[in-house]
Structure 1
Amino acid sequence: MRTLRNLQGPALTLALLCALWLIVIVGLLALKPSVFNLGTVTTILQFSTILALVGLGQGMVILAGGTGIDLSVGGAVSLSAVIAMLSLKLGLPPVLVPAVCILAGAALGALNGLLVNGLALLPFIATLGTFFVYSGVALAVTGGAAQSGVPGWLLVWGRGVVAGIPVPFLTLAIPCFALAGLALMATAWGRWIYAMGFNERSARLVGIPVDRVRFILYSLSGALAGAAGLVSLAWLGSGRPNIG
C-alpha cells in the first residue's frame, strides 16, 4: 500500500504530461499534417533518443538539488564516442565498443562528482569547465575529423526501425526511463534523492549519504551521456568530436 501511495503523485504528473503531449500532437496535425509523415517522425525520434538519454542523466542530478547541474554532458557525448572509436582502431574487439562508450562516459561523470564533492567546487563552474575540457580533448585527438569504422552490426542496431520507431529508442531509451522512474518512485534510493532536493541539510542530519549519492548521480549522468554517444555513432556511422 505504501508503494502504491508513492506511485500516485508521479503517476498523476506523468498522466498530465502525456495529456499535454497529446494536445500538442493533435494541434500540429490540425495545423500541418505533413509534419507527421513516417520519415519525419522516425528522424525526430532518432535524434530525440540522444537528447532523452542526456536529459535523463541531467534531470537526476538536478533533482538531487544542492545547486546540482551537469553542463558537461555535451562534451561527454562527443568524447565517449571518440574514445570508443579510437579504442576500436587500437585493436579493441568490436563487441566491446558499447561497453567502452558507456564506461568512458561514466568515468567522465565520476570526475565531475570528484570535483563537486572532493574539491567543493560549484557544480555550474566544475561541469562548465569539464565541458570545455572534454570537447577540447575530443577535437584535439581527432583533429576535428569524424572517426569512421563503426561495426556493421552496430550500424544495423543504430539505424534499425520497427513500425517507424528507431530501435535504440525502443531498446535503450525506454528501458532507461522505465528503470529510472521505478528507482525514483519505489525505492529508498529514490526517496533519498527527493529528500536531498528538498533540503540537503536535513537529509544529512537523518543519515542520508549525500556525497555518495551525488557522486553516483554524476557518474550515472556520464554513463547516460556515454550511451547517447553510442547511439550517435551507431546512427551516424562515425564518432564525431563535435556531436555534443
Structure 2
Amino acid sequence: MSVLDQTRVDRPSPRPRRLSWTVSDAAVMIDRGMRHTLRNGDALFMSVFLPIMLLLLFVYVFGGAIDVGTGYINYVVPGIILLCAGFGAATTAVGVTNDMTTGIIDRFRSLPIATWTVVLGHVVASMARNLFATGLVLGIAVAIGFRPTASPLDWVGAIAVVALFILMMTWVSVMFGLIAKTADAASGFTFFILFLPYVSSAFVPTDTMPAALHGFAEHQPITPIIETVRGLLMGTPIGNSWWIALLWCAAILLVVVPISSHLFRSRTRV
C-alpha cells in the first residue's frame, strides 16, 4: 500500500464531525428558545394564567348549573389541560414570525450553522413551556378538588397523549408563524386553535348541543383527544376515541411538518 493510500485509510471521515456540529447547533438553538421563554415573562404568565382562570370560572361560576352526571371539576379538567396548549400556541407562532421578520435569520444564514435548528429550538421550547403549564394547571385542579382515579399505567398513557397533542399544536403554530408576515397576524392565525376546544366535549357533553353543532363537535380532532385523556384519568369509557385521537394527531403532523419545512426553506432561500 502506498503512502497516499495509507493516508486515505487513516484519515477520519468528516461525517461524524459534521453530525457533532449539527447536534451542537441544535443544542444552542434549544437553549436560545428556552431563554426566550424565560425572558418573555408576559407570554409565559398568560399561557399559564388564562387556563387557570378558565378552570376557576367554569368550576365555581358555571359548574353548579351544568349537570354532567359527575362532579363537574372531574369532567372539565381534561379539557382545560388541552386548552393550555392552545394558549401556548400563540406564543410559538409569534416567536417564529419574529425570527422570520426581524432579520435574525439572515444573521444565522451568514454563520456556519444548520438554520433549520432555529425551528427545532422553537418546538422544544414550546413543548417545555406547555408541559410546565399543563403540570401547573393540573396541580391547581387537584388542590381545588380534582380527583383522578388513574393507575400508574393510565397516567403514562394520559401524559403521552397530552404530549403528542402539544407536539401537534406546536407544529401547527410553527406553520402559522411561517405563513404570517407580522406578529399580530401570527397571533390572529391561532385564534381558531383557541376556539376548537369550546366546540367539543371539553366543557359540556356534545349530545347537549344543537344537531348541526353536535355533528361538528363529534368529528373535530379535539373531542376524541379529550375523551381519551378523560377516560384514562377518570376511568370513563374510551371506546374508539383513543385510536381516532392518535390518527388525528398523526395525520395533522404528517401534513404540517412538511409544509412548515417547505415554508422555512422558501423564506430562507437566497
**TM-score scaled by structure 2?**
0.22
Q: Which structure is higher in RCO with an 8 Å CA cutoff and minimum separation 6?
A: 1
Select the structure of larger CA radius of gyration.
2
**TM-score scaled by structure 1?**
0.23
